Amino acid sequence: MFQVNGSYFITVNGVQQFGAANPGAGIANGTEITASWLNDVQGELLNFLTAASIVPAANTPTQVKESTDFLYALKFNVLSAPKIIEGADRGTVFVCDPGTTTVTLPAADGFDAGFLIGLSGSTITQVSVTDILNDGGALRGLSGFTLNVGSFVLLQAQGLNWGVISASPDLQAGSARPQYIATQAGSITPALGSKNAICSQVITFPNYSPSGAFRVLIRTLAQGDSSGTGQNQNFTSIVFDGTNTLTGAPWLIAAVNNGVNTWGTSDTFLSSATYAPGATVTFAYSINAAGGSTDFTITGSSMIITVEPA
């Protein structure tokens, strides 16, 4: 707002101020109070009420204080369900309890500049941001991250983006990215004398990936008995996700007999197929030892799947 500028204002240390009339001292007029200046003062005060969503009321001389308490005092609230941040949440630190699962920040330019919001995790929570984060650190450029147990982050609306004002060390170090999963399919033991086996594993991908997609690293293992010694055993091995055949080469070579008539092989590969966040996919590993170079029957097969961002 502008300084008082009505007629007969005085200047003190470079600041325009009101002056009082003092006829005895030869000062006939005090400073003129103008409608424009009073309207400026009223507008400045009403801005506090508007920002705090307080409706102006007559004979209520506490509303400016109430609005500043609301705007600048941190409040704490416990979340136990998914939450979309809104204007009334200004200055609130939300503690994410189990059941929260997701917190969504709408477009930053829909909030007043300086709007602050805090998040603290007592359960793993996915945070989705409509506009990218802007902090110059590990979270810069992300449109979402994982709030881990014990993590916290303080965010501020900064025009077109959300700014990270402060964050716990784990987020600053970059571990705000999703917690990726590794899982092993249970070993499948075929019928005695079988030349074929199959095992499968159901994977539900996390709800968020920085790249918008996931890929899988798969290790397969097969074992079998053989009457041969010191020989290699060829067999067909395929991993399938219901849409794609994921193995680059269908033929693998088993290790030589280890002295107890057990043959084994392992193959590790990174799939070129990608999967959407939240998708559920069944991976199947099939093996066929028919036509091999020794009397080879399968005794078990297994599969280890690691999920990572694409």
Q: What's the predicted TM-score (pTM) here?
A: 0.42
Render each residue's pLDDT in the chain as its tens digit; 310 residues. Answer: 788 888 998 999 989 999 999 998 889 899 999 999 999 999 999 988 887 778 899 999 999 888 887 776 667 888 888 889 988 888 888 888 887 778 888 888 888 767 888 888 887 777 877 766 765 455 666 667 778 788 888 888 877 778 887 887 767 654 334 444 556 555 555 555 577 777 888 888 876 666 678 888 887 777 766 554 444 455 667 888 989 888 644 444 444 444 444 555 566 777 888 998 888 999 888 877 665 555 566 777 777 888 877 7
Stated as kind and residue range, the H or E segment containing 297 is strand 296-309
pLDDT at residue number 204:
84
Please report the pLDDT score of residue 176 as a whole number.
39
Q: What is the pLDDT of residue 96?
A: 87
Q: Name the CATH topology of 74-172.
A: Jelly Rolls (2.60.120)
pLDDT for res 228: 47
Q: How many Cβ atoms from other residues are within 10 Å of residue 271's Cβ?
A: 20
Q: So what's the pLDDT on residue 226?
A: 56
Closest C-alpha to 10, from 20, 21, 19, 1: 19
Domain ranges of the chain: 10-70, 74-172, 182-309
How far, in Å, CA of 8 to CA of 12, rounded?
Answer: 13
CATH number 3.30.70 given to 182-309: no
- Token match 């917690």: residue? 179
Looking at residue 252, its pLDDT comes to 45
Same fold, 74-172 and 182-309: yes
Q: Which amino acid does the sequence have at 37?
A: W
